[in-house]
Amino acid sequence: MKTITVFKGDGIGPEITDAVLEILKAAKAPLDYEIFRVGEAEYEENGALIPEKAFASFERNKILLKSPITTPVGKGFRSLNVTLREKYDLYANIRPAKSNAAVVTPFKDVDIVTFRENTEDLYVGVEEQIDAGTVHATKIITRRASTRIIADAFAYARAQGRKKVTCVHKANILKKSDGLFLSVFREIAENYPDIEADDKIVDNVCMQLVMRPQQFDIMVMPNLYGDIVSDLTSGLIGGLGLLPSSNLGKDYAMFEAVHGSAPDIAGKNIANPTALLWSACMMLEHLGELDVAAKIRRAVDQVLAEGSCKTPDIGGKATTAEYCSQIIGRF
């Protein structure tokens, strides 16, 4: 049995976490859990967004399943997601967006994996107040970080039998920073003659994604573009409730839904746990539990294909509990 750390988060976090853990247990995932409350509610009660014992658990177990966290607004806190990525060098944010025929959108046959560099770019949070009307923000791009994420994208493409990797950038304007990222991409691409490599400017990518998303396979890009573009890809497949992610480093791995804590629907039993559940499947695959992950994925596909049990965000009226029960019933 592998012990993992679980952060239940805020808003809809606790209820979708409970649903996912129930499904994992029903699927007989060989896991034990150390579960912690983190985020705004924890801060208001105990004065810490993430308790030290939660950090210690992650450092011990190396694997974290994290539901959405609310970072208090206007209290001087950086995003907890950014903090975790930097603290544990979770440099590779991988976000797969794949169409499901049972979820109706204007877009068909979307199958895109976004590789987002996760530790630098504007997300370093370095800003300087120049005068009363001027603020400078520092964008950092390094060869080391660029090499890691781009090499991972190509290695993933080859291992998964994917055909194409696209570098997304703004090197026509940011000639040194994005220019470095693009230069590293072209260098690494030479080592993968079996993989088609191209590059596109980020604004053009956004247009192309809503005109013909099927042209994209794997995309790799700096931090800010990755955040924006991957949310766009979620819209192609039905929304953030269907977009999972992994955050991988050399020593640690964190798996999380991309969406926020949605406090407006918290406690209403209508939240869609699919993104967190599919993130848990990515975690199982990372741990080598391929059969359990496949069992859960098949069950979700069957429930969605049947069509009678969907949460409101994807056109249904089912509660979180009903949806969870239907998935478990397919095991």
Which residues in 46-84 are b (16+ Cβ under 10 Å) and which e? eeebbbeebbebbeebbbbbbbbbbbeeeeeeeebbbbb
Whats the size of the chain, residue-wise? 331
> In degrees to the nearest 10, what's the CA dihedral of 84, 89, 91, 94?
-50
| Catalytic residue of the set 203, 268, 291, 317 | 203
Q: Is 219 strand, coil or helix?
A: strand
**Amino acid found at 299:** A
Distances (CA, A) of 13 to 166, 193, 199, 240: 33, 43, 37, 14
Q: Is 217 a catalytic residue?
A: no
Q: Is 199 a catalytic residue?
A: no
Rounded Cα distance, 111 and 106, in Å: 14
| Catalytic residue of the set 18, 89, 111, 231 | 231
In the chain the first and final C-alpha atoms are separated, in Å, by: 20
**Amino acid found at 207:** M
Q: Is 203 a catalytic residue?
A: yes
Rounded Cα distance, 93 and 65, in Å: 14
Q: Which two tokens stand for residue 267?
A: 């406690």
Q: Is 164 a catalytic residue?
A: no
| Catalytic residue of the set 121, 152, 199, 227 | 227
Write out the DSSP string of 221-249.
Answer: E-HHHHHHHHHHHHHHHT-GGG-EEEEE-
Q: Which residues contact 298 (CB under 8 A, 6 or more apart)?
A: 330
Query: Sheet containing 253-257: which strands, arranged edge to edge?
Result: 31-36, 2-7, 63-66, 253-257, 244-248, 92-98, 111-117, 218-221, 164-169, 196-201
Q: Is 227 a catalytic residue?
A: yes
| Catalytic residue of the set 8, 66, 121, 170 | 170
Q: Which residues contact 173 (CB under 8 A, 6 or more apart)?
A: none
| Catalytic residue of the set 123, 225, 252, 323 | 123
Rounded Cα distance, 135 and 157, in Å: 40
User: Which residues does the annotation mark as catalytic?
Assistant: 123, 170, 203, 227, 231
